[in-house]
Amino acid sequence: MEMVKENKVDILGPPQSSAPVATTVVTIQTETAVPDHIVWSLFNTIFMNWCCLGFVAFAYSVKSRDRKMVGDMTGARTYASTAKCLNVWALVLGLVLTIVSIVLLVNAYVAAYSRVLKLSQESSGYH
């Protein structure tokens, strides 16, 4: 015994009322990852803190993270952009000033060594 069940489907036509159909569009903003550059800022604060730019970049990175936590993505992007700019400047200035310092230090050592060598040669000639 087989049970056969038949369903009738009514085909719906156009709407019966003449009222305009209202549509609603909901834009859901996906969570975009806003980088706060906090690790880079911390690195610049600890190792390359010429002119305190690394510390200021770290402060802006923390502000960016705070804005991200409360859901203000525009503010987070603004603070992150400032932190990135300060980090770039801190890194460039840190590298340039470190290289210049090393070159000057090496030149001072070479000059001092040559002066000591010259003085030792002059004093050995009188004995």
> pLDDT digit string (tens) for 39-79?
999 999 998 787 889 999 999 999 999 999 998 999 999 99
SS3 sequence of the chain: CCCCCCCCCCCCCCCCCCCCCCCCCCCCCCCCCCCCCHHHHHHHHHHCCHHHHHHHHHHHHHHHHHHHHCCCHHHHHHHHHHHHHHHHHHHHHHHHHHHHHHHHHHHHHHHHHHHHHHHHHHHHHCC
Structural domain spans, the chain: 38-125
> pLDDT digit string (tens) for 19-44?
676 778 777 666 668 888 999 999 99
Q: To the nearest whole percent, how much of the chain has pLDDT over 90?
A: 57
